[in-house]
Structure formats: C-alpha cells, structure tokens
Structure 1
C-alpha cells in the first residue's frame, strides 16, 4: 500500500512539474514577458525624456494645449473627455503621448480599411423593402424613423417581415433548440462566439459539428482571440481543422502592443443554411447552461430567427470571417427562404462595429427610452453609463415612464459592480427602479418597451460593449415574441430584490470608495 501511495504521489509531482514547465515555456508566458519588456522600455524612454524636460518644456506645453483643444472639440462623451483631461493634468507628457497613441490606433488601420471594403461589397445583398418601409410609414410609428436611421448607417441594415422569432429565457432552452437545428443542417453551419470553453456544452455541439462535416456540411467556427489566454489552447484552430472544421481566432494576441487588442469580437452568432440564426447573451461554456456554478444561478437569454431576416447574420459572419481571407461569395450563402413564414411583426437584425462613427447599439437603446409611453424594462450585467445614456434613462423615468433595471445579485467582477453602484442613487432619485437578481448573475442583454418593442442581443450597458466591441442584436417591433420577453422579465423580477436609497447606505465602505475612484476611469473599463 505504501509503495502504491508513493507511486501515486510521484505521478502527481511529475504531472505538477510538467504543468509548471508547460506554463513557463508556453506561448502565453512568452507573450506576457515580451509585453512586460515593451512596457518597461516605454517607461524607461519616458524617464530618459524626463531628464531633459526643462529643454522641452515649451514643446510639452504646446502638446498639452493641442490635446486639451482636441478633447474639448471632440465628439467624445463628457465622461470620456473628463477622464482624459484628468490623466493629462496628473501626468501631462505621458497623458498626451497616451492620447496620441490611442487616437492613432496603430495596428488597426488595415482592419478598418478591410472591414469598410467588405461592408461596401455586402451592401447589394441587404436591399431595402420599400413595401415594408411604407407600411411602417403609414402607421406613423417612431420605428419608421429608426428604420430610416438604420439605412443611413454605414451598414444600412434593412427592416424585414416574413421572419419567425423564438425567444429563449435561459441558456438551457437555447442549447436544447440549437442542437436540434444543428442536426438539421444540410449545407453549412457558421458559429461566431466571444467565448468557447471545453466542457459538456461545447463537447456536445462539437460532436454534432463533426457528424455534420462527415455528412458533407461546411462548418466554420470563429471565436475571439482573447480566449486563447483563458479557455482554449493557441493551436485550437489546428485541432478543429483535423476534424474538418474551418476555424479562426479573431485578433489573436501577439507579443506587440497595439490598440488593436481593444477591439474584441463580443458577438454570438449561429447561422444554419442561411435559414436559421441564433443570437443573444449565451456563449458556449457550461456556466451559461448552469451545468457548472460560477456566480450562483446564471440568467441569460437568446433568440432564434427563421426566414428572411437571417440574411443579416449571414453577412455579418462572412464580413468578420473574410477580414483575413479572400472576398466572400455572399450570394452563395444567403438563404432561399422558400419555406412560407407568416409575417410576425417587423424585425431588424443589426451589428455594431467600433471602427466606424455609428454608435448603433447606444442609439437604439436611447431611441427606445426616448419614445416609451408606459414602460422600459431592462436586463443587463453591467451599468457603466456615459452622460447621454444616463440622461435618457433618467429623463424617461422623470416623465412618468416605468423604467426598471435588473442587475446581478452575485457579480462576476467586483470592480465594475462597485462602479455600477455609483449610478444607482441618481437613477433611483429620478424614479428608476433597480433590482438585483437574488439567485445569482444576470448576463442577459434585453430591452422591452410598451409591449411592442424589444431588443435581444449581445450589447451590455457599458463602455466596452457600446464603443470597443463588435456586437450584434435584433430589434423587434410588434412581434409575438415580445410578450414572451416581457413575461420572462416579470418572472425574473419576482426573484429579484429592489435596491433602495436606504439599502445603498448599507453598502460596504470599500465598495463605495472603489466605485467612486474607478468612476474617474470608467471609459477605460
């Protein structure tokens, strides 16, 4: 028995040593070391420059003046400008150089140009249906004005009818339907996700994908390159290739500092044969279906589209896939839409890119808030608001609209959670009702208003999601699924506890201090 115990101990030690060596000599470690060395080099260069600061003081002052003038006249929101001005005030030269560095955006110019070209190429495949638009115009609906806004954006997203919408109030419900739909694929399967993590959920989906490849179905998988540091190995695309699956990591991390890394692919898209599409908050990891518990019960949502509106998600996927590939044949992958689908409201799927000037995600949310009559109900995991969005939420409540926001009861990140708390008091005083989901974490990104409008997608109420990530969502108007979304909201609300001004006073001092300190750099989070 002792010998057996010693052998087991030796095996564990050997395994530990191998893991340690893999960690030390892994690509992650090498990249981290090279990044640290670059940061140290920049700091050393700055220190060297400081020695001769007296000689260059006039240049420094001129740079500061130009930086302040730029910020005052820029299109940034007020809080972003304040953040930059504070940074320049505290460390003038370093702040100005950092501002120049971020605005030059070294490392992404090629990406921006390529995506712009792909957007132009895809325009003919997103035609405007004048009959549908005129129907909305006759209704004198504010959604008609929103449709005109969508057509003015760089991507020109159209409004659709002839599309069926199914709403899923949980990751488990989406997972069950997704497997059914994947098994029915005949031509191709496209998957684009922010997070893929090995486990039960991805394992079952991967098994289906492998089966479909053997049946002759084309399968493409795309995920954000940041997860190569956390959930997947750096060679995962090659591993999928051995199964016959085409795979790509968007913006993989390399040992060179670039603002490119600020732009993450936060989308969750599945397209099957151009006829069925999924989106929403649910990633491909076990916590999203509550197979494992991370932050209590995980509350999430998703929707499935069947019909004409799926074309938008097909094109969004092909645009992202083709950034590092040849121009796609958009027409070859668009659905035939021969299956008759009874019109169920008006559907506008859309994407949001950090590489253009269209703040689509934010503008859609503000439009809903500004035109609400009775209520706006919101589920979001984060609440880091700029001045425009905060004003829209407060003003809606102040003019008598019932605005309710459901936030996590158990946060996944303590700092953004503390920051969110700093917005609670002014919102509550304006009449906004804030609840926290007692069983756990809310990851849903949902707006629903007046029983006739809703948005389900990937867009959080924070700076990163609204300004720095590639996102997507679906706007619904007069669709039957909206009543299901509202019912789910009410069921979630019943499991949540209201935040009051009195309960805010009981928050820990560390949470209050953290929130107010971090608020000065909120746009960077």
Structure 2
C-alpha cells in the first residue's frame, strides 16, 4: 500500500486537487458574481492545478461579506452612536452652505451617509499640504504639543531619518504621560528591533496589522491596511498619501523628487477619523477598548466647511470609496481632474470616465511617467487608449514620482486620501478618503493639478496607437494580473 501511494503520489494529489476544485467551483457558482469573473476563476482552477487553489484562496474570497474583520464592538458602544448622531447637521445648516454647493452633491452625501459611519460634518478647517517636507513640519509640531493622546495608523513606517525623528517624539510624549497608540502594517513597514524595543520601553502601545512571518516575501498578497492617518488629542487629524519614510521627504540629497498631497483637519471630521482608528485599534490589539468622551472633545470650529470621511475595506458592507468616486464622475458637469500613482481601474470606473469624456466633460488623468512597478506600469498603459478615444486627456508626470491620490470636480467637490485608482484600493485594502464639498478648497486643489501639468507630458493618441506590438503584448499580459497588483 505504501509503495502504491509513493509511486502514484502525483496522481493522488491531482485527484485531491480536482475534488477541491469541484467543491470550490460549486460555491463560486452559488455566489452569482460577474459571469466573466466566475469563468476566469474556474479556468484558473482547472488549468493550473494547486496554483489555482492558492490564487482563489488569496484573492477570490469576498471578505467584505464573510466579515472576518469584525469590529462591531466599537460601533455598538453607545458613545459612538451618540457621536455620529451629534455630527449629523441640522437642515438649516445644510441650507446655509454657500451657493447651494451641497445640494448639487446631495446624492454623494446620501450614498456615504447610508454607511452610518460617514456622517456629513459642517464645521471644519482644512489645510491642503503639498509634499512630505511640509507635512512633517506640521505633524511633528502637533505631536510635540499633544496633551492627552496620539493615535497613528500608517501603512509604511521606517526608522530612517524622518521616521527616527517621529519615533523620538512618540517616545518622549509617552514617557511624559501622553497615551500613544501606533498601528503599522506588517508588510509595508520596516522597523528595527531596537526601535520597537525603545517604543515599548517608553510606554508607546504599538501593534502590527495582520502580522506575517516573512513580510519581504508576501509583497501585496494579503489584505493590507493602506491608510495613513494621525489624530492628536481628538482635535487635529491628518490623512492622505504621505507615509513615514525618507522616500516621502524631498531632502537636498534625495535621488528622486516625490510629489504628494496630504490633508490637515481641525473640526468635526476629526471625530470620524477617530472612530475609524478605534475600530482598527480594537482589531490589531485584540482588546475591547473602552471608548471614552476624552477621545471626542467638544471643540468649537466656526468655519463652515463640509467634509465626509469615506472609509472602505473588508470590514465595510460596500466598496464606499469606489462607489463615491464612480458617482462623482458620472454626475460631473464641467471637469474631472484625477491624480493617482497607480491606475488599474475596474470596469465601472472606466465606463464612468468614458461616459463623462464623451458627453463633453473635461476629464484629465495624471499618472507617473515612470512607475516603481514594471507590472503596474504596463497594466496601466493597457487602459489609456480606450480612455483617449473617449476624449479623456492623459498626462504623465516627468519631474519625479507623483504619489498624490486626489480628485477635483467642477470647483465644487474634491477628495484627498489614501486610495489609488486600482483594484486593491477599491476591493482589498483598508483605505480612507476625505470628501470635501467646498469651492475654495476645490479651486486650490485644481491649481495644484494645473501646476503639476507643467511638469508633465500629454500622451498623444495617434503616437500611442503606433507603439510596438511587443509593448502591447506586455500590457495585455500584465493586465491579466490586474486584480492581484
């Protein structure tokens, strides 16, 4: 018997594989997902033994529905319900918004409000921050002035020059009695044992998000926390594209110019950021944190500026950020200006951009000329021709690497956040964006976009069509892997 098993081990393994394939295919069919996606998964399962099962295990399961990232304990606490209730503006406040700005975007407001954790906030002050060197000047100063607590949630933290400076501040504040909580992604971050030990000894409470044994080898093949947010004393909040690393700071000795955008918030929207952090903290710490009023201080902000915080990930019922971006594009009347470092969109976003472009809306997309990923670059290139044929203008940033994740529409709506325009940000990673309903800030962000175009080249449709067949093949091949990038 043992000899038979030994001599036929591969046959037995193949039999086990295809028994599992039949079971998995049965459950895929029951999900009633997109037919093309269903067929694609079944083809991979049938024609790639073992590998197909691994691919489906990593990418085919809908964790949003499976609810493995359950954070209901935080949301069920009465103080959270009270905060969300208090943040809902009165009808008179909404009517007072300048030029009926909000009424024209009421569909977006309702779409996000339906998630229950994205209330519209009216009383806010915002500062749009251009590039990491400017962000860290503000952030480090705010951290040094913290009195009660510091909450940080970052995809990338490295203990290099800027990371070391931030760690110094965190350790000093924790030693002086300020409650410091830090959540870092285990794949994105790289912190030495020495720095981790120092954080712990100083009293900083820190946890890695979904720890992995070999982060250097896992790459992106996990659900990751891609957010970059900070909350200081529940009064000041930060979010955007800038991680904690020297890469994001344009030092004199930097080899590559890094163009990025971040946002500093003072006002009611900070409470929404705080709620999102507390949900993450409960997940990474494994403890049911008691939510206290000190995390939500009552601060008067007399500036009337409407903001909604949109969060999405495997813990949300819907792909909130993708849904709101889609709706914003299809309801645009004059222009849509998009900046993103990674553009690997789904069919909904492609269709929305094409429809907007063909209907006379000025749709422009700004992406890097040179990407930090060969596969992502070629996958992105595979989408450009169909967009340009629909009158979408494509620009490639040449000065360095553009990492900003922003959209501005009609001088009325803008968004700054952590979400790229790709499959991972829309469906897999934890992301967070601020939706800003304000003319002044939209015009400011538009001016940044126009300024960036001066350091960019426009892609010509006719020349693009004449690129080599070898390049087109590379693009088509990389596009096959778009959901995994």
Class of the TM-score when normalised by the shorter of the 2 chains: 0.7 to 0.9
SS of the equivalent of 1:473 reads strand
Partner of 2:85: 127
Partner of 1:431: 391
8 A contact 1:160–1:346 mirrored in 2: yes
Relative distance call for 1:465 and 1:61 in structure 2 (3 A) is: closer
Relative distance call for 1:48 and 1:109 in structure 2 (3 A) is: farther
Equivalent pairs counted in the alignment come to: 470
Q: TM-score, normalised by structure 2?
A: 0.87
Q: Unpaired runs of 5+ in structure 1?
A: 1-43
Max Rg structure? 1
Query: By how many angstroms is 1:281 displaced?
Result: 0.1
Q: Which moved more, 1:481-490 or 1:412-421?
A: 481-490
Query: By how many angstroms is 1:485 displaced?
Result: 0.9
**Partner Cα separation in structure 2 for residue 165 and residue 502 of structure 1:** 42
**Partner Cα separation in structure 1 for residue 370 and residue 468 of structure 2:** 15
Partner of 1:189: 150
2:200 is matched with which residue: 241, 257, 260?
241
8 A contact 2:175–2:202 mirrored in 1: no
Query: By how many angstroms is 1:235 displaced?
Result: 6.9
Partner of 2:409: 449
Relative distance call for 1:79 and 1:61 in structure 2 (3 A) is: closer
2:293 is matched with which residue: 315, 319, 332?
332
1:499 is matched with which residue: 449, 454, 459?
459
8 A contact 2:29–2:38 mirrored in 1: no
Query: Is 2:105 the counterpart of 1:148?
Result: no
Partner of 2:12: 49
Query: Is 2:41 the counterpart of 1:84?
Result: yes
Q: Which moved more, 1:391-400 or 1:120-129?
A: 120-129
| Within-5 A mapping of 1:290-329 | 290-291=250-251, 296-323=256-283, 324-329=285-290
Partner of 2:141: 180
Q: TM-score, normalised by structure 1?
A: 0.81
Relative distance call for 1:49 and 1:390 in structure 2 (3 A) is: farther
Relative distance call for 1:81 and 1:434 in structure 2 (3 A) is: farther
Relative distance call for 1:310 and 1:382 in structure 2 (3 A) is: same
Q: Which moved more, 1:441-450 or 1:115-124?
A: 115-124
**Partner Cα separation in structure 2 for residue 109 and residue 253 of structure 1:** 21
Query: Is 2:305 the counterpart of 1:383?
Result: no
SS of the equivalent of 2:304 reads coil
**Partner Cα separation in structure 1 for residue 408 and residue 8 of structure 2:** 52
**Partner Cα separation in structure 2 for residue 128 and residue 148 of structure 1:** 17
Query: By how many angstroms is 1:50 displaced?
Result: 5.0
Partner of 1:252: 211
Normalized per residue, the structure richer in helix is 1
SS of the equivalent of 2:457 reads strand
1:520 is matched with which residue: 453, 474, 480?
480
**Partner Cα separation in structure 1 for residue 400 and residue 30 of structure 2:** 43
| Within-5 A mapping of 1:203-214 | 203-214=164-175
